[in-house]
């Protein structure tokens, strides 16, 4: 059977399964979305009321973008991409504009997307000129025979796919630059020259949290659409002062990002990538749900495991019935959820519902 025919058949099967599930439990949402904007040491005392409000408003905008897609019967893939792109454009988050800097003073961006309905996936690493890395990951998935592209080749592919290209200075923010200077100074490493064509110090400082924050600002989304398809997407600038072409868990399919209808789960992670890679966190959570665990139990168990070897961070997970799960071993994670049956809610601190 042709690939498009196969996909149409799989989609039809998911539609039937979704309507049967819904007939069994009419209270189950038709669609559901969960997002995150990074985990870490995020405490009430560390954010001013204005900063707290700015993050909540930014999360709400991302939820609104993804929900709008799902509410008009759009695909889970389109929804996770829409939500992630809003956060990539927001300098509050470590993804796209506002990404952290490498030790060499560059922004190198990683992203991934996965379609749970047919296990197709796309990923990019080390982008420097593509405005929306998640869109590049999607293009890799849909318009190339590959799963992962890196560096200048990945940017060239994205440009060829018609995706917006920007000057690397587009990603610069003063807050992240100062974060780099602080990290390099503390590590006794040489400071790179400040990029020439960027705004002056002080610009964009209005809602920036203080520089003593310790958090991972990666963004991600997981969704179930009205045809029963799951999808996941994640995007990041990685870790401040990363070196030697370092790539974290985000674009590694199965580590920071995974979705599988067959396993009944979609996952996006944020945290210390070096640990999340070693536990293949996202795939492992799906193995747990395939074995019968609820998404919350699977997420909690996995975060406990990755924490046992020193990994800090969190995950968002979506189930086949539209139940979202959040788990973290940090004091906070920027996050939110919305569905066809529940009003949108956003949260920051670990003790919030």
Residue whose CB is less far from ligand ASP, 28 or 136: 136
Out of 172, 216, 258, 279, point to the residue binding ligand ASP (CB under 6 A): 216
Sequence-ordered strand ranges (E) for 183-331:
214-215, 219-224, 230-236, 257-260, 265-271, 313-319, 324-328
Q: Which of residues 265-284 bind ligand ASP (CB under 6 A)?
A: 270-271, 273
Q: Residue 248, annotated ligand binder? A: yes
Catalytic residue among 218, 280, 321, 330: 218
From the list 73, 78, 71, 69, the residue with the least C-alpha distance to 115 is 78
Closest CA to 334 of 308, 305, 313, 304: 313
Tell me which of 37, 96, 122, 248 binds ligand ASP, using CB under 6 A.
248
Q: Is 272 annotated as a binding residue?
A: yes
Residue 343: other Cβ atoms inside 10 A: 7
Query: x/- contact string, 68-107, with ligand ASP (CB under 6 A)?
Result: --------------------------x-------------
Q: Which of residues 110-129 bind ligand ASP (CB under 6 A)?
A: none
Q: Is 321 a catalytic residue?
A: no
Length of the chain: 353
DSSP states of 19-61: HHHHHH-TTS-S-EEEEEEEEEE--GGGS-HHHHHHHHHHHHH
Is 247 assigned to a binding site?
A: yes
For 16, 120, 127, 330, the CA distances from 233, given in Å and listed in that order, are 25, 12, 16, 21
Mark the segment that binds ligand ASP (CB under 6 A) among 216-224, 288-296, 333-341, 344-352: 216-224
Interaction between residue 218 and ligand ASP (CB under 6 A): yes
* Short-list 236, 229, 232, 277, CA closest to 257: 232
Per the annotation, does 271 bind a ligand?
yes
Q: Is 315 in the site for ligand ASP (CB under 6 A)?
A: no
Q: Give the DSSP letter string of 218-235.
A: -EEEEEE-TTS-EEEEEE
For ligand ASP, which stretch binds (CB under 6 A), given 111-119, 245-253, 259-267, 278-286? 245-253
**Is 118 assigned to a binding site?**
no
Q: Which two tokens mark 229?
A: 């398809």
Residues 33-72 that bind ligand ASP (CB under 6 A): 38
Q: Two tokens at 8?
A: 């149409």
* Choice between 81 and 270, CB closer to ligand ASP: 270
Residue 217 found at the interface with ligand ASP (CB under 6 A): yes
Tokens of 44: 């009430």
In whole angstroms, how close is the CB of 238 to ligand ASP at the nearest point? 4
* Residue 270 annotated in ligand binding: yes
Q: How far is the CB of 309 from ligand ASP (least distance, A)?
A: 15
β pairing state of 120-127 and 148-150: parallel
13-21, 120-128, 248-256, 295-303 -> range binding ligand ASP (CB under 6 A): 248-256
Distances (CA, A) of 61 to 58, 65, 105: 5, 6, 30
Residue ranges of the annotated binding site for substrate are 246-249, 270-273
Residue ranges that bind ligand ASP, judged by CB under 6 A: 38, 94, 216-218, 236, 238-239, 248-250, 256, 270-271, 273
């Amino acid at each position: 059977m042709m690939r498009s025919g196969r996909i149409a058949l799989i989609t039809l099967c998911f539609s039937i399964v979704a309507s049967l599930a819904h007939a069994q439990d009419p209270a189950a949402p038709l669609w559901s979305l969960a997002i995150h904007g990074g985990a870490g040491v995020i405490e009430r005392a560390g954010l001013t009321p204005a900063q707290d409000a700015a993050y909540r408003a930014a999360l709400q905008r991302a939820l609104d973008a993804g929900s709008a897609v799902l509410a008009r019967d759009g695909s889970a893939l389109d929804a996770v991409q829409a939500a992630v792109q809003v956060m990539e454009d927001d300098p509050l988050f470590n993804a796209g504009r506002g990404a952290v800097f490498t030790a060499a003073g560059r922004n190198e961006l990683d992203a991934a997307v996965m379609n749970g309905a047919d296990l197709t996936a796309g990923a990019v690493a080390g982008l420097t000129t593509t405005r929306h890395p998640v869109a590049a990951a999607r293009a890799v998935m849909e318009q190339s025979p590959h799963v992962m592209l890196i560096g200048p080749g990945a940017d060239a592919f994205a440009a060829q796919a018609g995706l917006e290209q920007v000057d690397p200075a587009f990603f610069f923010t003063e807050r992240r630059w100062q974060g780099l200077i602080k990290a390099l100074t503390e590590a006794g490493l040489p400071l790179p020259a400040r990029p020439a064509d960027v705004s002056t110090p002080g610009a964009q400082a209005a809602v920036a949290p203080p520089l003593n924050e310790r958090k991972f600002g990666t963004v991600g989304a997981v969704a179930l659409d009205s045809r029963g398809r799951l999808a996941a997407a994640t995007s990041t600038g990685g870790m401040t002062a990363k070196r030697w072409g370092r790539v974290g868990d985000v674009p590694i399919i199965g580590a920071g990002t995974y979705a599988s209808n067959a396993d009944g789960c979609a996952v996006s992670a944020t945290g210390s990538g070096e640990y999340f890679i070693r536990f293949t966190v996202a795939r492992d959570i799906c193995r747990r749900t395939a074995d019968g665990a609820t998404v919350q139990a699977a997420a909690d168990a996995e975060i406990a495991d990755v924490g046992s070897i020193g990994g800090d961070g969190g995950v968002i997970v979506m189930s086949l019935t539209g139940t979202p799960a959040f788990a973290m071993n940090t004091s906070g994670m920027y996050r939110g959820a919305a569905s066809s049956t529940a009003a949108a809610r956003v949260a920051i601190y670990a003790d919030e519902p």
